[in-house]
Amino acid sequence: MIFAIISFVLYSSILAFVGLKGVRYARPALIGTVVILTVLTFFRQVMYYFGLDQPYPQGFFNYTEWNLILKANLVCTVWIVVLYSAYVGFTPAAHLFTSLLPSGPGLKEKKPRGIKVVVLVPACFAIFGTIYLVLQSGSISQFLYDSKVGKDLKGLFVFQEAATLASILALYGFVVCLDKEKRGIRSITWGAFGYILIIVVSMIVNYVWGNRYNIALMAVSSVIVWHYCVSSLNFMKVLICAVLAMVVLEALRNLRGELVSSATGRTFSTYSNPWLSLSTALHFVEFDALMLALRDTGHMFDFRHGQDFINGLLSWIPRSIYPDKETFNIGPWFRRVYQPQIINGWPITTMGSWYVNAGYWGIFLGAALSGCVLRVFDLAFDGLRNDPWKAVIGICLAIFMFEGGVNTGFPQKVFLLILPLSWASFWIRMMNKAPEPASGPKR
């Protein structure tokens, strides 16, 4: 146990160092990566050390396997060290790739045009499309079951992604509409409040689809944007926000379970241990799945040899064109190794995905690639304190696209987020383009 604790302290210290660097220099990709890694790899271990819970599922572990926890910590430590080293080392070449990311419209007007259009188009598409599908299902409960449990809505999740896109653009509209002469809540205008409503409705659409993860990511993004664009947050305020988020997400999980139960007629199962319930609700148990992957890959099952990353490269193709494509999410496949009858998956963190696909070499390769890509993002969105587009889009892309690094679903997110945001930026820029001066009469 003592070596596991030492490795945990070492990993946590390095993670904190990288995170503080990101906060100090306003590096959204570093901040987002550290936030996700903290959620997925830090809190669960605290429960082990205080004896609050054991690795889950308990039937697949020999109580608390400290050697396995030590091994997972060493993998996480190597990941963050290699990632940050690549991040720093790639700085001279990163500027060659920044043009691939959605550049801001460069607005100088106090009331720019075109933002409402790029927000309302995906929002209306998501809202009305989801309403139609819910009516087709007969009830929200049945729709939620078909989406989350039955997996009968494959190919239609574009409505959920459109809602996420709308919420990101609405957050940008919110920042643009703030009263720059005031700080804090007093800076929120009626126009900014309207964008808040769109964010809330878009997140409700996500929830109807059974997705709480995007709600959590949007909440984290909004808090970071608030810190840089509205009012600085101290540690106590961040802690309060984190506790509130945990309570809300746990409540949403229980509500979703009750809705699914009403559709199936079966009682929603709960965990007797509240710490396990909290861990499953907030994805803390991904660390448990990572430990299983490190222990059993190459023994209980073979390595995937990059198959999930190949699936990720093909993930942008619509199912209407490629109906038999495999999912890039490794979680469902991984869980069926242990529980073949279960549809829902066990995500195994980004480090786990690289390990299962390429072994320990995958850890080094994935971390190095992630560090390079993160550096490109941070260079592209440098100066976010003075540019609403860089602040919102840079932070949101970092939170939504990086799950502690570049994962199997990264290519799909390029098509679902980066390309639409590039088009939105182009539209806003064209709507606010200064008219050419009229030429004088010819003589």
Check: CB of residue 105 under 8 Å from CB of residue 113.
no
**Torsion angle, CA of 343/346/350/351, rounded to 10 degrees?**
-130
For residue range 242-270, list pLDDT tens digits in order: 889 888 888 888 888 777 777 666 665 56
Buried (b) or exposed (e) across 147-171, using 16+ Cβ within 10 A?
bbeeeebeeeeebbbbbbbbbbbbb
Phi-psi region at 114: left, alpha or beta (left = phi > 0; alpha = psi -120 to 50)? left
Cα–Cα distance, 91 to 23 (Å, whole number): 18
Which tokens hold the place of 201?
A: 């409705």
**pLDDT (tens digit, 9 = 90+) per residue, 41-89?**
999 999 999 999 999 888 888 877 899 999 999 999 999 999 999 999 9
pLDDT at 265: 63
- Percent of the chain's residues with pLDDT above 90: 50
- Residue 202's contacts (CB-CB under 8 Å, 6 or more residues apart) are 123, 126, 127, 163, 164, 166, 167, 170
Instruction: Report which of 303, 321, 295 is spatially closest to residue 72, judged by C-alpha positions.
Output: 295
- Position 400 scores a pLDDT of 94
pLDDT for 232 equals 85
Q: What is the pLDDT of residue 354?
A: 96
pLDDT of res. 443 = 47
pLDDT score of 429 more than 60: yes
Question: Residues 46-74, buried b or exposed e (16+ Cβ, 10 A)?
Answer: ebbeeeebbbbbeebbeebbbebbbbbbb
| Alpha-carbon gap, residue 352 to 366, rounded angstroms | 10
Angle at 279 between CA 162 and CA 251, to 5 degrees: 60
Buried b (16+ CB within 10 A) or exposed e, 191-218: bbeebbebbebbbebbbbbbbbebbbbb
Task: Using the structure block, give the residue that is written with the tokens 């506790």.
Answer: 243
Per-residue pLDDT tens digits for 124-178: 999 999 999 999 888 888 888 877 766 667 767 789 999 999 999 999 999 988 8
Contact 230, 187 (CB under 8 A): yes
User: Are 130 and 164 in contact, with CB atoms under 8 Å apart?
Assistant: no
Please report the pLDDT score of residue 14 as a whole number: 97
Q: Which residues pair with 264 in a beta bridge?
A: none
Whether residue 38 is predicted with pLDDT greater than 60 in this model: the reply is yes
Q: Cα separation of 4 and 74, whole Å?
A: 9
3-state secondary structure of 324: coil
Helix (H, G, I), strand (E, B) or coil at 297: strand
Convert 90-103 to b/e letters by CB count within 10 Å (16 or more is b): beeebeebbeebbb
Read out DSSP for 152-186? --TT-THHHHHHHHHHHHHHHHHHHTS-TTS-GGG
Of all residues in the chain, what percent are helix, strand and coil, respectively (each to 5)? Answer: 70, 0, 30
Phi, psi angles (nearest 5°) of residue 96: -70, -15
Chain centroid to CA 256: how far? 20
Q: Give, in degrees to the nearest 5, the angle at Cα 286 between 403 and 301.
A: 105
C-alpha R_g of the chain:
22
